[in-house]
Chains A and B, each alone.
Chain A
Amino acid sequence: MAQETRELICINCPMGCPLTVTLEDGVVTSVSGNTCPRGDAYGRKEVTNPTRIVTTTVPVDGSATERMVSVKTALDIPKGKIFDVVRELSGVRAQAPVEIGDVVLANVAGTGVDVIATKRA
């Protein structure tokens, strides 16, 4: 039985509670150091399935106002895939007109998540 502990800082509020998460065979058995349930939930997710929204920009062609259009992953993607996402976006160009929510790149880095525009261009 493999036991491990991970130290984290909770991001939910300015308290920044130092969390200790204990896992056995990759399953969280306890979270300590938190002062509220949000800390517990954060600790569990962050050690088992940390995810992030990635925001960046891609160049846009044919826009009268913008050189770049800002984009984001429509949903969280696995934290380990952050650079895969930006690497796949390098070389991607958007075509004006662009509306907020337009898909700029579908299923980025095999995550099943689309990259969508966050600005008009």
Chain B
Amino acid sequence: MSAAIERRAIVVVGGGPAGLAAAIAAYEAGEHDVLILERDTQLGGILNQCIHNGFGLHTFKEELTGPEYAQRFIDRADELGIERRLGTMVLDISSERVVTTVSAANGIDRIQAGAVVLAMGCRERPRGALATPGYRPAGVYSAGTAQRLVNIEGQLPGREVVILGSGDIGLIMARRMTLEGAHVACVAEIMPYSGGLKRNIVQCLDDFGIPLLLSHTVVDVEGRDRVEAVTIAQVDERLKPIPGTEVRYPCDTLMLSVGLLPENELSREAGVELSPVTRGPVVDQSLQTSVAGIFACGNVLHVHDLVDFVSQEAAAAGTQAARYVMADAEEASASRGIPVAATDGVRYTVPSFIDPQRMDDTLTVRFRVANEFRDRYVSVYLDDERIQHRKKRVMAPGEMEQVVLKRADLLAREGLSQITVKLEEA
């Protein structure tokens, strides 16, 4: 630890897809003093273990694998000469933006940042969070952990697999395990619909004859040392197991893909206000959190479906962070803006506050819906005036939706006190 505190204009916490895009955008916006802090020994984040293809259709108009998508951004960061510290974990961020890190190379370091971009990503809900009854043997893995074992370490976690949860990682892992020689007995999903992409259901399950059991969950795990069997039962509308529907699957592995949670321990420590819905920070039109000069993007802000949207959002956060440090910080951190209400099937919006004075000419507001909807209208209201009304054939909780707001519309409305995004039947 050096006695003198290091000063940096922008510190980006996390070198995954969000951190890379934010750092590049901040640099391109004119602030060249950008530092990426990454706890792993390489950049790219979780993309490094997402070896399947399908990334980047929006960004590059081609289908890339995770490592390839990451490499495009790493190459750009290299070109710009953006500094990064690998093997460096952020331990604390103060509300005054003092970032404390630890690394094997340097021990503890403290950095005073002009702006901080939070890009720590998310983590998986573990089995324990489901309170699934049964034993706690070896062989219960979250899908991401299994993905790391298989794709990075080359180790096979099991040979006979049951998967709980049909999120995309679970579906992808069903195929990965199959292609590495394991047998996947089924994928159980407690909801009456899958949270995964249709394409993944077809190409990861149907291609290999793996059944998808909707409205089913795991009610027992057997095996004292290693998983020996799991029992799956159908659930009712209240998601409670229906007695008499139990089926026992002998297996050596239970893999879970039951949700992702933004990793906001540092945000909380920094005093950043978190949304109880997304579990990520509450942000304004600049993706700035409730703490001045701290911005958030990517899965730490809200869990995304496509990495392309992570990159887009992170680029916006990086640009805003650069503007923040280049402008008068005092001026930039003034009012909070007009609240955006998410109602009638819309679970949340990002951002949740908009200051029309400070927004760009257009602003993308992202949201997720609470259920599967068909033929609903996505409506935007400025107070009680409806300014957008767009029909969507289908919407699902697994997919992110968006509306684009125009600055001119918001400015035109005097005394605007609330913006509402909601679903309507007509």
* Cβ-defined contact, A9 with B207, below 8 A: no
Report A95-121 CB contacts with B as 1/0, cut-off 8 Å.
Answer: 000001000000000000000001110
Residues B154 and A57 in contact, CB atoms below 8 Å apart: yes
B contact residues, total (Cβ < 8 Å): 34
**Please, how many angstroms separate the alpha-carbon atoms of A119 and B314 in the complex?**
23
Residues of B within 8 A of A54 (CB): 179
Q: Does A31 contact B (CB under 8 A)?
A: no
A100 and B66 alpha carbons, distance in the complex (Å): 12
Q: Which residue of B lies closest to A85 (CB)?
A: B179
Is there contact, CB below 8 Å, between A14 and B153? no
A52–B207 contact, CB under 8 A?
Answer: yes
* B207-A72 in contact (CB<8A): no
Binds A, one of B105-113, B193-201, B216-224: B193-201
**Chain A's nearest CB lies how many Å from the CB of B205?**
11
Question: In whole angstroms, what is the CA distance A13 to B198 when docked?
Answer: 7
Q: Which residue of B lies closest to A118 (CB)?
A: B65
**For the complex, is B68 an interface residue (Cβ under 8 Å from A)?**
yes
Q: How far is the CB of B242 from chain A (nearest CB, A)?
A: 26
Residue count of chain A within 8 Å CB distance of chain B: 31
Q: Let me know if A79 is at the binding interface, CB within 8 A.
A: yes
Residue of A nearest to B64 (CB): A118
Which residue on chain B has the smallest CB distance to residue A71?
Answer: B51
Interchain CB contact under 8 A, B198 and A14: yes
Task: Please provide the chain B residues from 362 to 404 with a CB less than 8 Å away from any CB of chain A in the complex.
Answer: 393-396, 398-399
CB of A70 within 8 A of CB of B151, answer: yes
Q: Is A62 an interface residue (CB 8 A)?
A: no
Q: Is B51 touching A56 in the complex (CB atoms < 8 A)?
A: yes
Chain A residues, Cβ within 8 Å of B268 = none
Q: Bound complex: CA of A59 vs CA of B303, how far in Å?
A: 32
Q: Does A38 contact B (CB under 8 A)?
A: no
Complex Cα distance, B203 from A16, in Å, reads 13
A67 to B398, CA, bound (A): 33
Report A-chain residues with C-beta under 8 Å of the C-beta of B48: 119
Beta-carbon contact of A56 and B152 below 8 Å: no
Let me know if B63 is at the binding interface, CB within 8 A: yes
Contact indicator B179/A56 (Cβ below 8 Å): yes
User: Is B8 interfacial (CB-CB < 8 Å)?
Assistant: no
Check if B63 sits within 8 Å of A14, measured CB to CB: no
- Distance in Å from the Cβ of B192 to the closest Cβ of chain A? 14
B418 at the interface (CB under 8 A from A): no
Top 9 A-B pairs ranked by shortest CB distance? A70-B51, A11-B199, A119-B67, A16-B198, A118-B65, A68-B154, A15-B394, A11-B198, A11-B202
5 more contacts with CB within 8 A, not counting A14-B395, A15-B393, are A52-B207, A55-B52, A56-B180, A86-B179, A118-B64
The 22 listed contacts between A and B (C-beta, < 8 Å) are A11-B197, A11-B198, A11-B199, A11-B202, A12-B198, A14-B198, A14-B395, A14-B398, A15-B393, A15-B394, A16-B198, A54-B179, A56-B180, A57-B150, A57-B154, A65-B42, A67-B154, A68-B154, A79-B207, A82-B179, A100-B71, A118-B65
Q: Which residues of B contact A (CB under 8 A)?
A: 41-42, 48, 51-53, 63-65, 67-68, 71, 150-154, 176, 179-180, 197-199, 201-203, 206-207, 393-396, 398-399
| Chain A residues at the B interface, C-beta cutoff of 8 Å | 8-16, 35, 52-57, 59, 65-68, 70, 72, 79, 82-83, 86, 100, 118-120
